[in-house]
Structure 1
Amino acid sequence: MHRRAVLTTLALAAAFPALAEPAPKGRALLMVEAPRCPFCAAFRREVLPGYASHPLGRAAPLTAVPIDGPWPDGLALARAPQASPTFILLENRMEIGRFEGYDDPETFWRTLGDLLA
């Protein structure tokens, strides 16, 4: 392994400590949240209760992780999230898109639908 690859791997391991469980395979939506984040709380209150039964929710099951970790093992992200909430669409543990912030349920579902399309 080249020195640069080793350093990159070590930097990612430090930035994203692993959980005992690997990241889900297939399509999944990773919600990165912070403690006391009012937008995260609003999402949990307004969207999360019905998320799993919504067609888009079934297309991309949700996993929530703290912004400071620990993170699911085996993720390939474009960059570390800087804001909360950040929603990262994964395909076989690899990032294929993301959006930041939460305004209201309608905007969330529209943005997720656009990302899944």
Structure 2
Amino acid sequence: MFKLNNLFASALSICLALPVAAADLVMVEQTGCSWCEKWNKEIGPIYPKTSEGKFAPLSRVDLRNMPSALKVARRVTFTPTFLLVEDGQEIGRLEGYPGEDFFWPVLEQLLIKHTDYIAPPKING
């Protein structure tokens, strides 16, 4: 019984250490958007593997076919636009994509400001 309790406690502590998706990141894009293509090439493949991607999984919508269930703070006019969404409601926004050196720190600050996201420690290399 003691071993079973230790096993349960270990499993519980591991589960509590894993990030829980509390928000979604919705990428608003459109056909022919060169900055969307650049994001898809540079960030798209790695995003789901990052702490940000695990915390706020990515979904995509077309600018010209925005779901009515998605409540935005103001109209989206630029692509890409990244909406931080909880329960179908926009809680934060990142407009544009000038490159990954811009995207990651701005996304991190957006997550910290609007959710309970805790950024992982930086590794100096």
The normalised TM-score by structure 2 is 0.69
1:22 aligned residue: none
- The alignment's C-alpha RMSD in Å is 1.5
Name the SS of the counterpart of 2:35 in structure 1.
Answer: helix
- Equivalenced residues, count: 92
Is 1:92–2:92 an aligned residue pair? no
Query: Quick check: which one's strand share is greater?
Result: 1
Unaligned runs of 5+ in 1: 1-24
The structure 1 residue matched to 2:61, chosen from 61, 65, 68, is 65
2:51 maps to which of 55, 72, 78: 55
Q: Compare CA radii of gyration and give the structure with the larger one.
A: 2
State how far apart, in whole Å, the 2-side matches of 1:57 and 1:45 are: 16
**Which structure shows the higher helix fraction?**
2
Partner of 2:115: none
> Where do 4+ consecutive residues of structure 1 move more than 6 Å?
none
Higher relative contact order (Cα pairs below 8 Å, separated by 6+ residues): 1
* Structure 2: stretches of 5+ with no match in the other structure: 1-20, 113-125
Structure 1 distance, partners of 2:42, 2:100, is 7
